Structure formats: structure tokens, C-alpha cells
Amino acid sequence: MPTIDLTRINTVIFDTDGVVTDTARVHAAAWKHVFDTFMRGRSESDDRWAPFDIREDYLSFVDGRPRLDGVRTFLASRGITLPEGEPSDPPGAPTVHGLGMAKDQFFLGQVERDGVSAFPSTVLLLHDLRHRGCRTAVVSASRHCRQMVLAAGVVHLFDVLVDGNDMARRKLPGKPDPALFLEAAARLGAPPGKTAIIEDALPGVEAGRRGGFGLVIAVDRTGQGGALAERGADIVVTDLAELAISGRVPADAR
């Protein structure tokens, strides 16, 4: 059974969407709604305007990236260029900011309607880690990270939270750059080599590997285990219930 050895790993950093909260599918649906609306009515004979594919397009170009990076990366994959626009652009305007705002608006509407839940196996793992003296952090490129973990009732299980607001304030680049994880590790006072990263997205796994973290764990909820391993995951599981924990964090490392 894959194991986190707490005599070697002292801290664990969790991605939010798809690892802690069951919101990755809501993000994917929001992106499909926005991109399909934008592309509707364009030339049907041009593959650039084909409907957004949740499996291929979302996982390859959007998942795990900051919102505006997701817009840019997906459009670039289709050879589509839009002006950047401004943060004040109305949702749905044909600009990078306009599409990003539309996605944000649709996502928050779905969350307000349906609520947010945490994965039970993640909650159990967090309780076990903290009982054994392990410090934990939660990260997200979203500015709504705190809102999500508060709504899911798990914010108290993390010592540190780093989100899109921190990224904007400190001008941190998004994944696959490891800056977000390195910021969380620094706030925990933990060297990356003694820190584990738990991710579900390809850019996040790559960020964990680039950052020199001691253990990179991938949660494969979409059948892309091989790709996650190729990007640098040391362990790939389909659910965190498959992980075991051994030992306790030494007192002088807490």
C-alpha cells in the first residue's frame, strides 16, 4: 500500500479542487458553458470552433491553472486570439478577462445553488495526519479558496491557506510553476524536501516535481494516471483512502 512516512515527510500541502473539495467537476462544467457559448454560431466547418471537450480540453489546457491562464491556454490550443481586455469587462465579453469573468460568475452560481462538499477520505486523512503531528496547508489558484473550504467545513484542518489573492498580491506565477506550493511551504517553515504535495491536475503534479518536493502524490479521478506519473507523481491513487500513514512527525520537526 502506498504510504506517507512521517519520519521523512513533516508537512503535507493539499490542492483544493478535486483533492479537498468535490468542485473540479463544477469548474469543468463552468468552462464548458462559457467556451461553448463563446464559440456557438461560428463556422461549423472550422475545427477551431468545435465544442469544448470536458475530458480532453479541460484536463489538457485548463485544469489546475489560474483562471485567466486557462482562457489563454485553451484559446491558444485552438489558434484563437482575443484581446486581454480589462478586469472591468462584463462577463462574456470577447476578451480574456470577459471569458474569465463569465466562468467565475457561472461557477459561483452553481456553488451557491448546490453547496460545497469535502471528500470524506480527504477529511479522514487530514485528521490522521494532524493527530500524528503533521502540519498541513491548502492551496488554490482561485481567489475563492477560503470560501470553498469554509463552506465545506474543513478550514480548521489547515495551518496555512494560500490562494489566488496571495498570488495576485505577491505576483506569483501559476502552475506548473511551483511558486504557489513553495509559498505554502515557506509559511509552514518546511523545507520542500520534507514536504508532500497532493494534487489531481497535470500542471500541479509538474509544479510539485519542479519545486523539489519530497513526495508528489496524484489523485486520479479522471483516468489519467499514466499522464500524472509521467509528469512526476511518485504515487498515483484513485482515492486518498488508498494511502497509508506510518510513524509520527518527530517533536523537534513540528
Whole-angstrom CA distances from 181 to 51, 141, 178, 192, 254 are 33, 10, 6, 9, 19
pLDDT of res. 75:
96
Q: Which phi and psi angles does 216 have, rounded to 5°?
A: -115, 115
CATH of segment(s) 3-22+116-253: 3.40.50.1000
15 catalytically annotated: yes
Of the listed 17, 69, 89, 166, which one is catalytic?
17
d(CA 173, CA 73): 14
17 catalytically annotated: yes
CB atoms within 10 A of CB 223: 10
pLDDT tier at 43, thresholds 50, 70, 90? low
pLDDT of res. 44:
66
Domain ranges of the chain: 3-22+116-253, 25-114
| Percent of the chain residues past pLDDT 70, beyond the cut | 99
The average pLDDT across 191-207 equals 97
The average pLDDT across 135-161 equals 95
Of the listed 5, 15, 36, 47, which one is catalytic?
15
Which of 7, 11, 9, 5 has the alpha carbon at shortest distance from 186? Answer: 11
